[in-house]
Amino acid sequence: MDAVPSFAGLTLAEFEQRLASVKPVPGGGSASAIAGSIAASLLAMVARLSLDRPKYAAYEGTCMRALDTAESARPRLLSLADEDARAYGAFAAARKMPRGTEAEQQARDAASQAAAREASEIPAAVVRECARVIYEVEAVSGRSNLNAASDLEVAARLAAAAAHGAAANVMINLPMVGDEPFGAALTVELDGLLEDIDRAAAAVMERARAGSLREPEPE
């Protein structure tokens, strides 16, 4: 498989062209990570639109924390998009290894399981990062610039979609890892995160429609 360039260095049109091509990378895992990065960018925008404005002075701490989270999540998720593509490449290469002898079959199986594990761990990291983003989206909803409430809702929807997409990639790769305790533990973790993410997204949508401010976070 051809070397995968950093997606952060591509224009949006170039990335979409690669995504639409017959090549297997980038695929759904990378698309999910990039969607999460866009959600983080929207969170950063709303935080910046709320800081240094007297009307939202009571929420400065919340908005600053959200901005810090967003600014660390954006490049991390872009990096995970690259890592996801490389992990798929490693798995595809492992599946092409020779298997004519017992020794070759064992080597192929071991390489495939290691690659599948990495291809599960990377999208799991995307889910965790999206959870970090949406928790802050929820925290600033009703505590930030009301003119950007719909932008927060978009951020919540994107982060939730990205998390569910990444989780789907985890679940399809787990059976090939060959480690039931690892798979069971990761499944439980992701199920819990997705429930929290969906709950946070629903709260953001409700507050966006309310169009009013709420109490500052307790100190």
Segment 16-64, tens digit of pLDDT:
999 999 988 899 999 999 999 999 999 999 999 999 999 999 999 999 9
Residue 216 has a pLDDT of 97
Domain boundaries, the chain: 25-210
Total Cβ atoms within 10 A of residue 60: 16
52: region left, alpha or beta (phi > 0 left; psi from -120 to 50 alpha): left
Nearest to 28 by CA among 94, 74, 77, 84: 84
- Classify domain 25-210 by CATH architecture: Up-down Bundle (1.20)
Task: Provide the mean pLDDT of the chain.
Answer: 95
Q: Can you state the angle between helices 149-173 and 60-95, rounded to 10 degrees? A: 30
Which among 88, 61, 205, 199 has a CA at the least distance from the CA of 143? Answer: 61
100-123, pLDDT tens digit by residue? 999 999 999 999 999 999 999 999
pLDDT at 1 over 60: no
Encode pLDDT of 126-156 as tens digits.
999 999 999 999 999 999 999 999 999 999 9
In this prediction the pTM is: 0.94
For residue 60, the model assigns a pLDDT of 97
User: Which pLDDT score, from 0 to 100, does residue 129 have?
Assistant: 98
